Amino acid sequence: MPLNRLQESADRINDFFIEALKAYIFKGDMAAAHAALTAATITASRQRASIVQFARAYTNDLQLVILKMNQADLRALADHLVTGVVQPGQELLSGTVGSRTQKLVTAIEEKNWGLLDAIRRRRELKAKDPEYARALASQDVTVFRRRYPDLP
């Protein structure tokens, strides 16, 4: 595979991870968390480290935005993050975002994922959510927007 095609493939895996991360953070979609983890496991260690760095930076930025939100905006965000919250607070929503991301980052950093791990993760994803598994195989990042049209 030519170098530019390898780079394009790596970029699409990064994009897939980002969209899966958003579906997990904003919708609590556990299958999307599994898809994000699977995407990370099929990457080389340097790309995986970059993915983790992005997830942390994205979460930190999002938490800063949450801390500056007014009550109406917090209510709208709470509808995406946490169900059943009467008075969403900045700390609760910021903590939800941070907790979800930290769980995913911890799973990614758990080990130095190899080829057999990637194969196993793909099989598990296929069992949990065949649509996400097909999307990852074809590097179709639009799958999350189709499922969640209001995903930020």
Is the CB of residue 31 less than 8 Å from the CB of residue 128?
yes
pLDDT of residue 111: 84
Residue 95: the pLDDT is: 62
Residue 29: how many CA atoms within 13 Å on its side-chain side? 24
SS3 89: coil
> Cα angle at 40 between 38 and 43, to 5 degrees?
115
Domain ranges of the chain: 3-147
Over residues 107-134, the mean pLDDT reads: 94
Query: Which of 56 and 85 is assigned the larger pLDDT?
Result: 56
CA distance 145 to 152: 9
pLDDT at 80: 60
Helix residue ranges per DSSP H, 29-142: 30-41, 45-67, 71-81, 90-109, 115-128, 130-138
d(CA 144, CA 85): 25
CA dist 129 and 121 (Å) reads: 12
The pLDDT value recorded for residue 86 is 42
- Structural tokens at position 103: 């769980």
In which band, very low, low, confident or very high, does the pLDDT at 124 lie, cut at 50, 70 and 90? very high
How far apart are alpha carbons 51 and 10 in whole angstroms?
Answer: 11
- Express each pLDDT in 58-108 by its tens digit: 888 887 777 776 777 766 666 665 444 444 455 555 567 778 888 889 999
Pair of tokens at residue 51? 């993915």
pLDDT score recorded for residue 102: 87
Mean pLDDT of 3-20: 83
pLDDT at 81: 59
Confidence check: pLDDT of 6 > 80 = no
